[in-house]
Structure 1
Amino acid sequence: MRLIDLSSPIDADFWEAEPMEHKVMTPAEAAVYMTDGMREQFGVDLDPAVLPDGEFLNQDILTVSTHIGTHVDAPSHYGTRTGHGGPPRTIDEMPLDWFQRPAFVLDVRGAGTGAVGADVLAEELARIGYRPQPLDIALIHTGASAWVGTQRYFTEFTGLDGSAVDFLLDFGVKVIGTDAFSLDAPFSDIIRRYRETGDRSVLWPAHFAGREREYCQIERLGGLDALPRPSGFTLTCFPVKIARAGAGWTRAVATVED
């Protein structure tokens, strides 16, 4: 068995559309931080100098959105309405068996910037000779991960329209992943098409589909070109258990039998 990392890093040196901060605390700085905290919180006094080399343990403090890096979107991310009538589930409420499943990859790298529909996905499934099974994880290979860390990553990629999402969900798929910034088309493309047509259905249809049919997205995957074949592997992508959150980071890993 071979493990293939399909994740993008959380890196404060990357260009990001949202603010992010990564503070690295050295072991010496952490010694002062820890002993000050012990004194304030527990009334325990300890001189940092008594620690070996005057050091405690390195600390990393991150201020970051749950949508930076490879992450899973929960139904609550899409809005307050659901097709089943109850409140949309948050990331800590999602069933774990959705996130360790057989997976398949659909290559849309030739489609360009914008959104593709069900017809494109149907043609790609026919090309690779695969029929999705219930709870399979669908992965969309756009090639956008080549630009991760740059502004271009957020403006040039292929998303899905509503028909494409429904097409996959009709097979019983519950998790759809992409190596792009979003499962929808880039913001600029969406707004351009809306202004040209006045058609509200072009406004984030892949996300808003989750208001009618419960499913999760994995966004900002990486390394899909390292997969040796388009199907016949398992994806593990358990989301971090963040209480009441609309998304959680994941280390997505493919298990491939050679």
Structure 2
Amino acid sequence: MSRIIDISMVTDGDPTLEGKGVIFEPHSLGAEWNQENYDIDPNHWPTPGAAFAVEHIDMNSHTGTHMDAPWHFGPVMADGSKPKTIEEWPIERCMGDGVVIDISDAEDGAEVSLEEIQQKLKDMNYTIKPGDIVLTMTGNDKYWGKPEYTTRGGGPSREALKWILEQGVTVVGTDAWSYDRPYAAWAADYHKHGKDPKYLWPCHLLGLEIEYAHIEKLANLDQLPPHGFKVIALPIKIAGGTAGFVRAVAIVDEV
């Protein structure tokens, strides 16, 4: 038997990003449209005066659970090539064995070091292999809608992510607003070190050196075992997109 766990959040706008969110047009407007365009009596529908309903989506592509493509990180890869947009990202990389690394004990804004990541994997008795989808759990999904959603918790260091990618991983994910630790934390390091560019957006910019994609704003990672499950996270193919909305699920085999 297998159990499917939804690890996506509901997509309904994000106050930190531009866009009005989901704009609902009620069934009554559907009846009016049919009357105006096809002279259909609004009262002939099963529910009089109510035909179809639709909604318009006015959102940044990074709203809700989504996958960032390398094109989001910058316009040129380190080797001079053009980074992949979301519709170019290979679909086979969006499915794989999953592993959850619990970093919810990290202090706000803290970098989780390579040594800490490796120790957590050792404690889990797990070795990362090529094709794995590595998810870091901050617990931030429980704070969605609250001010601290974007500011609490830590994130993997650039060194830690580089090591993960060197194991043959091409997709990682987090239940936080960003795969990098909170924006204010790494920005503070940038200013603290005399505006040294090496402190800019560490994990994202690594994607211009080592090609990878990451999933942000996941949910319910606490419902998963540390490993022994599969992840399917297929992004919408937005033409030329820096990101695509994702309905991510985990499939857990149960005896």
1:201 maps to 2:198: yes
TM-score by length of 1: 0.91
Total equivalences in the alignment: 249
1:48 & 1:113 partners in 2: Cα distance? 59
Q: 2:253 maps to which residue? A: 257
* 1:17 shift after superposition: 4.2
Q: Counterpart of 2:76 in structure 1: which amino acid? A: R
Structure 1 gaps, min length 5:
40-44
Rounded to whole Å, the distance in 1 between the matches of 2:164 and 2:141 is 22
Work out the CA distance in 1 between the residues paired with 2:105 and 2:57: 37
Q: Is the 8 A contact 1:25 1:58 kept in 2?
A: yes
- Cα deviations across residues 165-198 of structure 1 (Å, max 9, x unaligned)? 1011010000010000001111211222222222
Asked if structure 2 preserves the Cα contact closer than 8 Å seen for 1:179 and 1:224, the reply is yes
| Letter of the structure 2 residue corresponding to residue 91 of structure 1 | I
One-letter amino acid of the counterpart of residue 26, structure 1: P
Change in CA separation of 1:34 and 1:210 when aligned onto 2, cut-off 3 Å: farther
1:21-170 matches, within 5 Å, as 21-33=21-33, 36=36, 39=37, 45-49=38-42, 51-52=44-45, 53-114=48-109, 115-170=111-166
Other structure's SS at 1:54 match: coil
Larger deviation, residues 232-241 vs 155-164: 155-164
Query: For 2:220, which of 209, 223, 230 is the aligned residue?
Result: 223
In 2, distance between residues paired with 1:184 and 1:20? 25
Is this contact kept in 1: 2:141–2:218, CA < 8 A?
Answer: yes
Retained in 2: the 8 A contact 1:15–1:151? no
Tell me which residue corresponds to 1:42.
none
Q: Which runs of 5 or more structure 2 residues have no equivalent in the other structure?
A: none
> 4+ runs of 1 displaced by more than 4 Å?
none
Partner AA of 1:10 in structure 2: T
Structure 1 residue 150: Cα displacement = 1.6
Change in Cα spacing, 1:183 to 1:51, as seen in structure 2 (3 Å) is same
Q: CA deviation at 1:22?
A: 2.0
Please report the RMSD computed on the Cα atoms of aligned residues, expressed in angstroms: 1.7
CA contact (8 A) 1:83 1:214 kept: no
Letter aligned with residue 3 of structure 1: I
One-letter code aligned to 1:46: D
Measured in 2, the distance between the counterparts of 1:189 and 1:232 equals 33
Distance, in Å, in 2 between the alignment partners of 1:219 and 1:139 is 10
Who is 1:3 aligned against?
4
Residue 59 of structure 1 aligns with an amino acid whose one-letter code is: V
TM-score by length of 2: 0.92
